């Protein structure tokens, strides 16, 4: 095939996609955003509970508070380990059967597991069996989440008009601050009207039980949406492969590695800001924290302010990613994160210094928005249409293990033994890994998405 024939073929394919029936922008936003909103709602609800309540609810037999906190945070990592398994399962069916059906099943799996966490008996009721059930629910939650982000990103980007893929890719990314805000807001309200004894007794269950409302809304939206035009075109052209996973690991293993390290730093940063810093700011040194003197309610309020900055910079970074390219935006964010990693420990010193801690949170979440926003388009663009669900999902969820699974535990252990500067060094190393991965990638802004 000559270059002219190839170009003509690509133009015809792009023209067919433009002529196909698309969901409205409102439906695309809702269908892609609701899943990631639930994802971050569920994960941060669990992270908050693991940092503040689970050490007493599920690990009350441990006499050392620091050990109880570490054991509680270790259960946090189970879902991240399960997520690549989920991405293998849902990626296979997403690339074979379509984005719509797979996203409905993944949302249902995730929602049921989260709801059941809120129904579990405590350690005082069932002993070690209660901990085992907690771990099982957390694992199933991770399986469902493994198919969520990549499918949501494809619903957004495969419905995007030309030149706006990064902007549309911001829709699932905006689910992160929305879910985070809802989770924090729920805990904030609960702690405003209940004392610590009530929260440990029953209050911690409420956010998990309320997640069922978000799941029902998400299911209604996703059942009504159309299959993406890019996948329908792949079906018409008989490009759907029988074994997407084999194809990914045979032809696109480099892109999987690149995607893993591009995303990993965003996970490390998010759970450093949201989970580790919460424990560090609110717990005494004897409890494994930094003795900064904040109440849990005060710190949640500061986080809710900072999360608005997160949402703003997701949109801004995606607008610039459509204008100047994904690589330039991500290179800037990686370099800026290295600088931030060296500086932020100095902001977490002193007692009840609201300005310094809020500055730490706002700057951190601004950089998080810049780093996180463009990957909604960048990761899918690294892979061909017939393996896009599998490839982007595997890379994204492997990053969850590399960058997030043990972040609260590692950061707590590092800060307890070597101080908060060691946490900054940990984040800086992850930022350098991201920078290397981004520089090894090609620019994908003008990639033909129908290929």
Res 6: pLDDT: 42
Token pair of 94 as six digits: 């997403």
Tokens for 81, please give them: 């380990």
CATH code of the domain occupying 23-227+239-439:
1.20.1250.20
CB atoms within 10 A of CB 369: 27
Q: What is the mean pLDDT of the chain?
A: 84
Query: 428 burial class (0-12, 13-18, 19+ CB within 10 angstroms)?
Result: middle
Three-state SS for 377-397 is HHHHHCCCHHHHHHHHHHHHH
For position 63, what pLDDT does the model report? 65
- In this prediction, residue 19 carries a pLDDT of 47
Most confident of 15-24, 98-107, 209-218, 312-321: 312-321
Helices (H) and strands (E) counted in the chain, each on its own, are 23, 0
Task: Reply yes or no on whether the pLDDT at 20 is more than 60.
Answer: no
For 381-423, how does the pLDDT look when each residue is reduced to its tens digit (9 = 90+)? 998 878 888 888 899 888 988 887 677 778 878 887 888 888 8
Q: Is residue 294 scored above 60 in pLDDT?
A: yes
Average pLDDT over every residue of 418-441: 92
pLDDT of 23 reads 57
What are the two backbone dihedrals, phi and then psi, of residue 395, each rounded to the nearest 5 degrees? -60, -45
Is the model more confident about 121 or about 154? Answer: 121
Across residues 6-17, what is the average pLDDT?
45
CA distance 125 to 202: 14
Nearest to 215 by CA among 50, 27, 35, 437: 35
**pTM score, whole prediction:** 0.82
Domain ranges of the chain: 23-227+239-439
Q: Which pLDDT band holds residue 4 (cuts at 50, 70, 90)?
A: very low
Quickly state the pLDDT bin for 358 (edges 50, 70, 90). Answer: very high
Provide mean pLDDT across the span 99-123. 88
pLDDT band at 251 (very low <50, low <70, confident <90, very high): confident
Q: Which residue has the tokens 């170009």?
A: 7
């Amino acid at each position: 095939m000559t270059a002219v024939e190839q170009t003509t073929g690509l133009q015809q394919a792009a023209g067919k996609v433009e002529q196909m029936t698309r969901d409205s922008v409102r439906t695309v936003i809702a269908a892609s955003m609701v899943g990631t909103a639930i994802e971050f709602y569920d994960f941060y609800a669990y992270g908050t509970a693991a940092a503040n309540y689970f050490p007493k609810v599920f690990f009350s037999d441990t006499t050392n508070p620091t050990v109880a906190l570490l054991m509680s945070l270790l259960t946090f990592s189970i879902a991240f380990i399960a997520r690549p398994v989920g991405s293998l399962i849902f990626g296979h069916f997403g690339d074979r059967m379509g984005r719509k059906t797979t996203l409905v099943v993944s949302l249902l799996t995730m929602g049921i597991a989260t709801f059941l966490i809120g129904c579990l008996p405590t350690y005082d009721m069932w002993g070690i069996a209660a901990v085992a059930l907690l771990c099982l629910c957390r694992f199933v939650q991770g399986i469902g989440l493994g198919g969520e982000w990549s499918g949501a990103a494809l619903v957004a980007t495969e419905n995007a008009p030309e030149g706006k893929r990064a902007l549309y890719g911001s829709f699932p990314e905006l689910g992160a601050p929305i879910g985070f805000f809802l989770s924090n807001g729920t805990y904030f309200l609960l702690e405003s009207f209940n004392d610590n004894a009530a929260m440990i007794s029953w209050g911690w269950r409420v956010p998990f039980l309320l997640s069922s409302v978000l799941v029902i809304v998400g299911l209604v939206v996703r059942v009504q949406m159309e299959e993406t035009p890019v996948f329908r075109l792949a079906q018409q052209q008989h490009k759907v492969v029988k074994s997407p996973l084999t194809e990914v690991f045979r032809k696109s293993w480099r892109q999987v590695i690149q995607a893993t390290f591009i995303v990993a730093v965003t996970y490390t940063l998010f759970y450093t800001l949201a989970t580790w810093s919460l424990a560090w700011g609110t717990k005494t040194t004897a409890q494994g924290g930094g003795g900064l003197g904040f109440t849990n309610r005060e710190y949640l309020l500061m986080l809710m302010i900072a999360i608005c900055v997160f949402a703003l910079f997701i949109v801004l970074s995606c607008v610039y990613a459509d204008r100047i390219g994904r690589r330039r935006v991500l290179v800037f964010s990686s370099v800026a994160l290295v600088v931030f990693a060296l500086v932020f420990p100095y902001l977490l010193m002193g007692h009840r210094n609201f300005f310094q801690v809020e500055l730490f949170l706002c700057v951190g979440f601004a950089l998080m928005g810049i780093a996180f926003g463009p990957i909604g388009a960048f990761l899918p663009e690294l892979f061909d249409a017939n393996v896009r669900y599998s490839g982007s999902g595997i890379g994204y969820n492997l990053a969850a293990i590399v960058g997030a699974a043990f972040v609260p535990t590692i950061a707590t252990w590092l800060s307890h033994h070597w101080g908060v500067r060691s946490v900054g060094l940990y984040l800086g190393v992850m930022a350098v890994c991201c920078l290397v991965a981004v520089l090894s990638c090609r620019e994908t802004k003008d990639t033909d998405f129908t290929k």
